[in-house]
Amino acid sequence: MAAVTAALVKELRDATGAGMMDCKKALVATDGDMDKAVDYLRENGLAKAAKKSGRIASEGLVRMAFAADGTAASAVEVNSETDFVAKNEEFVEFVEKLADIALAADKACAECLKDMAYGEEGTVAEVLTAKIAKIGENMNLRRAVKCNTPGVKYVGYSHGGGRIGVIIGLKTDASVEEVTVCGKDVAMQAASMRPLYVDEAGVDPEYLAHEKEVILAQAMNENNELPENKRKPQAIIEKMITGRVKKSLKEVCLVDQAFVKDSNMTVGEYVASCAKALGKPIQVVEMVRYEVGEGLEKKVENFAEEVAKQMQA
């Protein structure tokens, strides 16, 4: 029997896209014969994942997990090709377990999560590859995060059966039970109004610079369209830009948005009212908002074709 080396396992994995443990088993079963090992994987449906890896996976599911005392939270997004598979019970259980694994980890990201153990079934990456082969669609662990800042309580909200997941971090001395209603209201706000940042202090400098460029161009164009004797001096235009940038930031900063449940106050004012009623300080300091497939290319496919593919699989 030929020695099954790490290099041989890697070579087979690169050639087939199958999981590391599956490649090792195939090589052991075929006495280290590479060609026979490829056939072994194909016969067992484990080499199909490589062929599916190029397909667009823009559907899927977001799942979150929370520590009982609210001191930590995690979120993961796993994409599939169709909504049909995203509702598959095995797929849902897989994503839920990934959220639990992320919560238990010291830190979580998509790449580091792939190397973590998925029970006794192998690594997350290996189990994912096996499920791709079994379910018959490309799937992708797109992103994962763990939040556990000291002094912060985490509350979440899931919308649309897991299409959107939001985690809100509240800096407070209160228990998670005391701030759950407030936190969920803020999370629902984030789900519906798509803020990009918690507050102005957290705005990306590149985003801010880009906004200023766009607003400056708008102001200059408006000014140039006026008769020459009515055009505003540069100093006035600069003040206009400052005001417009402020207005623009109110739309993308969570705490400055008009509160959807009461448009007479901002989200920040709503949180302040909760803090006053509770008698303990509360401040929104973190936000994670995952929406399935955001920023990914969408595949247009009619329902009849989707069902037909599932039947064939």
Boundaries of every domain in the chain = 6-52, 59-164+289-312, 200-286
pLDDT tens digits along 57-66: 678 999 999 9
pLDDT of residue 303 exceeding 70: no
Beta strands 262-266 and 282-291 are: unpaired
Sheet architecture: strand order including 59-66: 59-66, 73-80, 139-147
- Would you state the CATH architecture of domain 59-164+289-312? 2-Layer Sandwich (3.30)
What tokens were used for 297? 């290319």
Average pLDDT over residues 263-281: 97
Measured between alpha carbons, how far is 195 from 212 in angstroms, rounded to an integer? 18
Q: Tell me which of 4 and 102 has the higher pLDDT.
A: 102
Asked whether the predicted pLDDT for residue 68 surpasses 90, the reply is yes
Q: What is the pLDDT of residue 16?
A: 75
What predicted TM-score, i.e. pTM, was given to this entire model?
Answer: 0.75
Cα of 275 vs its chain's centroid, Å: 29
Which CATH superfamily, name and number, covers 6-52?
Ubiquitin-associated (UBA) domain (1.10.8.10)
For the stretch 127-166, pLDDT in tens is 999 888 888 788 889 999 999 999 999 999 999 999 999 9
Per the model's pLDDT, the better-predicted residue between 296 and 172 turns out to be 172
One-letter-per-residue 3-state SS of the chain: CCCCCHHHHHHHHHHHCCCHHHHHHHHHHCCCCHHHHHHHHHHCCCCHHHHHCCCCCCEEEEEEEECCCCCCEEEEEEEECCHHHHCCHHHHHHHHHHHHHHHHCCCCCHHHHHCCECCCCCEHHHHHHHHHHHHCCCEEEEEEEEECCCCEEEEEEEECCCCEEEEEEEEECCCHHHHHHHHHHHHHHHHHHCCCECCHHHCCHHHHHHHHHHHHHHHHHHHHCCCHHHCCCHHHHHHHHHHHHHHHHHHHEHHHCEECCEEEEEHHHHHHHHHHHHCCCEEEEEEEEEECCCCCCCCCCCHHHHHHHHHHC
Q: What is the pLDDT of residue 237?
A: 82
